Amino acid sequence: MTATTDAPTLDDRPLVSPRYTARLLQGTFALLFLLATLVVVALEPATVTNPFYAGGAALVLVATAFPLLPAFRNVRYRPWMIAMPLLDFAAILLIRLEGTGGITNPMVMILTMPAVWVGLVKSRRALAMLMPAVLAVVVPDALLVARGALSESTADRAVMLIATFPIVMMFAAGAAYAMSSILAGRQMELADEQRRRAEAAADAERARNLLHAVLDTIPVGVVVMSPTGERILMNRRLRESPELMADGADPWDAIQEVRALMVDRVTRIEEEQSAFQHAARGETVTDRLVWVGLPGQQQHALSVSTGPVHTDAGEHLANVLVVSDVTDFMHALEAKDAFIGTISHELRTPLTTLSGFVELLIEREHEFRDDVRSWLKVIDRNVRRQHMLVRDLLAAAATRNAPIVIDRQPSDLAAIAHEAALAVRSEAEQKGVAVAVSGEATGNVDPLRMAQVVENLLTNAVRYTPAGGSVSVSVGGDADHLHLVVSDTGVGIAPEDQERLFEQFFRAADARASAIRGIGLGLAIVKAIVDAHGGEVALESEPGRGTTVTVRIPQSA
């Protein structure tokens, strides 16, 4: 949109023709003036008979006749058109010359109509011409206030009028100026939009056909529904699924009635928590594992994801449900867990026997030579390590199919941390790593599981801290949470490895390269225990500067 102040044409693309705009605004002003006059006649008839009021009414009549002139049929705004609103301001000024501060005072607010007209002209010169006219209307009030000719209450009202009237009028004109620019530009955009929509409609139809073709070829089930839960599309994987089409059922209705089971393969998921309902509500679910099929019969494992689809502008277009059959994968995991569990159980019995005999020998170590006593310490240390390895393997296998069972009871977290520090003291002393525990905290947690958390975190910290480094454990808490922070000055963890640290059997590249002991279960077990408490675990690390792990446990489940 182009607006100039020097050329005769003030607005190259007016939103509405000057003729219709002038008739609307000036007609409204004239009507308001007439109504105000009737009120004045009812309250103070003498005011209307005053020559000044009559002169003002004549000016309003002249201004109202302006839009009827043939020249107003021009489709462009012209500089002489500013005469119409200026006549309105002159009319109100003339009326108030004799009755300032009286019953005619409220009439100044109807000047908003001509002020809006000046804004619609879209000319800075017109706005500049409006300012003297606005100020002239309140000149009578300013003169009376300056002479002290008004009572205290009337003077206060006059001062308020002097202060607010120019602001209101200029804001009205400025707002009209801005809106006319925006709306006129929008007119052009709408024309362009119509052309673009025609082209987009053809492109959308081609894209829709392509989308259907692609979705029908992928090996996972996809459902797309509207934000209100109505069906948009279902790909062939689900549309032609024998399970959903059994007994001639409609696949769309059948998928809503599927009642899945939790990871224990027995407990039913409530209807409101089903994957379909999550998708219908536009909620995001990522790789949720569910089972379908009656317990004791053939069951299928499904990985379900749901989420809303938005445009770049944030418009909610649809909700998507994606279903993948992961039965074979889950059977492979179960076979692996069964193998780990079997081997771990087989190893635990001889390790327990070895541990018992080593303890007996250590009790009689004074009977042996110095070299034998050192061998006993080595044997004892390695038996303990194997015990921890077997314990972690069993815990990892147990957490695959069911969450860890937590037995909350009042516990001293500081005492648990001190005991864990004693458990790793031998390894820390051998490496020359200092371990310190500080803080006090008590709360409702599972003491055995929390001991496992602290010991796993301390073991990792000691192993990855070089000689001369330090490891600190800090405990604390408030009415709502317990806090456990384990920090070390070790080698740190690369950013690309940090996201996977809590996965089972994952080990960072630096750990593998440096041949540090471990199988990648410690942090996975820590997270499982913390999750079972309803808590959170966070890790911060920088290569070469160490690692800090923070655990927050709520005081109540």
Task: Give the tens place of pLDDT for each residue, 290-332.
Answer: 888 887 778 888 888 898 988 888 888 888 988 888 888 777 7
Q: What is the pLDDT of residue 233?
A: 85
What average pLDDT does range 435-449 have in this prediction? Answer: 88
Q: What is the pLDDT of residue 32?
A: 92
Sorted by sequence, the CB contacts under 8 Å of residue 240 that are 6+ apart come out as 251
How large a percentage of the chain has pLDDT more than 90?
A: 11
Between strands 409-412 and 300-310, the pairing is: unpaired
The mean pLDDT of the chain is: 81
DSSP state of 534: T
Question: Which one has a higher pLDDT value, 310 or 256?
Answer: 310
- Rounded CA separation 222/307 (Å): 12
What average pLDDT does range 250-257 have in this prediction? Answer: 81
Would you give the distance in Å from CA 478 to the centre of its chain? 28
Residue 469 has pLDDT above 70, yes or no: yes
Q: What is the pLDDT of residue 472?
A: 93
Would you give the distance in Å from CA 155 to the centre of its chain? 54
Residue 347 has pLDDT above 80, yes or no: no
Q: What is the pLDDT of residue 7?
A: 43
How large a percentage of the chain has pLDDT more than 70?
A: 86
Residue 510 has pLDDT above 60, yes or no: no
- Rounded CA separation 21/422 (Å): 88
Residue 192 has pLDDT above 50, yes or no: yes
Dihedral sign from CA coordinates of 151, 153, 154, 157: positive
Question: Which one has a higher pLDDT value, 116 or 364?
Answer: 116
Q: What is the pLDDT of residues 204-217, one digit of tens each?
A: 888 888 878 888 88
Q: What is the pLDDT of residue 379?
A: 79
Binned at pLDDT 50, 70 and 90, residue 356 comes out as confident
- Rounded CA separation 522/261 (Å): 29
Count of beta carbons in the 10 Å neighbourhood of residue 58? 13
Question: Which one has a higher pLDDT value, 43 or 189?
Answer: 43
Among the listed ranges 90-94, 184-188, 380-384, 401-405, which one has the minimum average pLDDT value?
A: 401-405
Q: What is the pLDDT of residue 487?
A: 93
Residue 55 has pLDDT above 80, yes or no: yes
Question: Which one has a higher pLDDT value, 496 or 432?
Answer: 432
Which element (helix H / strand E) includes 68? Answer: none
Distances (CA, A) of 183 to 179, 180, 186, 298, 437: 6, 5, 5, 65, 68
- Rounded CA separation 196/190 (Å): 10
What average pLDDT does range 211-236 have in this prediction? Answer: 85
Q: What is the pLDDT of residue 3?
A: 41
Q: What is the pLDDT of residue 519?
A: 60
Angle of helix 139-147 relative to helix 152-215, nearest 10 degrees?
Answer: 140
Nearest in space to 22 (alpha carbons), one of 59, 62, 68, 57: 68
What average pLDDT does range 544-555 have in this prediction? Answer: 89
Dihedral sign from CA coordinates of 179, 184, 188, 191: positive
Q: What is the pLDDT of residue 485?
A: 93
Question: Which one has a higher pLDDT value, 111 or 156?
Answer: 111
Would you give the distance in Å from CA 257 to the centre of its chain? 32
Binned at pLDDT 50, 70 and 90, residue 12 comes out as very low
Query: Are the beta carbons of 460 and 522 closer than 8 angstroms?
Result: yes
Residue 24 has pLDDT above 50, yes or no: yes
What average pLDDT does range 526-537 have in this prediction? Answer: 87
What average pLDDT does range 514-529 have in this prediction? Answer: 69
Binned at pLDDT 50, 70 and 90, residue 87 comes out as very high
Binned at pLDDT 50, 70 and 90, residue 29 comes out as very high
- Rounded CA separation 200/257 (Å): 37
Q: What is the pLDDT of residues 132-161, one digit of tens each?
A: 989 888 888 888 888 877 777 778 877 888
Binned at pLDDT 50, 70 and 90, residue 89 comes out as very high
Q: What is the pLDDT of residue 213?
A: 82
What strands lie across the sheet with 536-542, from one edge to the other?
A: 434-438, 470-477, 481-488, 546-554, 536-542
Q: What is the pLDDT of residue 402?
A: 57
Q: What is the pLDDT of residue 303?
A: 87
- Backbone φ and ψ for 488, nearest 5 degrees, come out as -140, 165
